[in-house]
Structures are given as structure tokens and as C-alpha cells.
Amino acid sequence: MEKSLLPSIPAKRYFTIGEVSDLCGVKPHVLRYWEQEFTQLRPMKRRGNRRYYQHHEVLMIRRIRDLLYDQGFTISGARNKLQELVQSERERRRATLDLLDGADAMDDGLDLADPEHDAAQDLMTEFEFPATDEGIQVLRKELVQIRDLLSETV
């Protein structure tokens, strides 16, 4: 079953193991096994040891499935790759938060177009924003939108 053939994930807070099985194209016993192999996969357990998965865990299972079934990784290789992906995601979020701090600094009246703010200049160059008031405002608007999106998911 290809990734494109997987059903879309409904807007729910929790999913049972049967629902996740259907959403990810993986048998329930495989999901239970993957919980032992991938420490990042920890569904909530309630009465009778019933598992309830959240949206981010369903996405992680799909990623694990892709690594194992479609890309041909071994369990340990997929575990390492997933760890790398998680680490790079953390670094990306950390960088985004650093950028948002820059946007907050703009709110505090600091002039990030000032040559003393090398990080701001590097950012402008990297994303091809002109180091003008207009370019800074465009960048600020995008950073605020990113911050709002991140605050919704955290």
C-alpha cells in the first residue's frame, strides 16, 4: 500500500489501535511491536491497557511505515533515521524560535537592519529579503505567522 493510498487522518484527538491500523495500513500486533522498538512511540493507555494514539503518533507511525516498507530500512536503521529526523526537527524549531525572538526584538523597537545585528543581515540575505524597512516588515509578518502556527501545535 503506497503512502498516497492511505486515508486522510480525521480531525480527532485520540485514535484506537484499530483506527490507527486502518489509517496506517499496519496490523495492530505490528503497532504493539513498534512501541517496543521505537521509544518515541508511546500511546496513552487507559482502562484495560487500551491504547489511544494522538495525531502526531499516527504521523510518526506513517513515517516509520514508510521507512521500513517503502524505503527498505531495517528496524535499527529506521530507529536511527527517525532519531535524526526528530533531532533535525528540534533544531529547526529552535532556529524558528530564534527568528521569532528577532521579531519580538522588532516589537521592542530594535532596528534589525542595523549592521550591528549580523544575524538579521544573514537572515535577510539567506531568504533574499532586502535589508529595507519593507523587507523587514515582510519578514516580520511571516515570522509572526510561523509563531502563531507553532503556538497552535505546541
Same domain, 53 and 94: no
In whole angstroms, give the CA distance from residue 15 to residue 119: 43
Q: Can you tell me the mean pLDDT for 40-48?
A: 91
Does residue 44 have a pLDDT over 60? Answer: yes
Rounded to a whole number, what is the largest CA-CA distance in the chain? Answer: 62
Domain of 36 in residue numbering reads as: 3-72
126 domain residue, yes or no: yes
Higher pLDDT, 96 or 68: 68
Same domain for 62 and 111 = no
- Within-domain flag for 136: yes
Asked if 106 and 136 sit in the same domain, the reply is yes
Measuring CA to CA, which residue among 64, 83, 63 is closest to residue 75?
64
Tens of pLDDT along 69-111?
A: 999 999 999 999 998 988 888 888 888 887 777 766 665 555 5
Is the pLDDT at 15 greater than 50? The verdict is yes
My answer on whether 61 and 99 are in the same domain is no
Residue with cell string 495492530: 28
User: Domain for residue 83, yes or no?
Assistant: no
Boundary residue ending a domain (72, 106, 127): 72
Q: What is the pLDDT of residues 102-152, one digit of tens each?
A: 766 665 555 545 555 555 555 555 555 455 677 777 778 888 888 878 877
pTM exceeds cut of 0.75? no
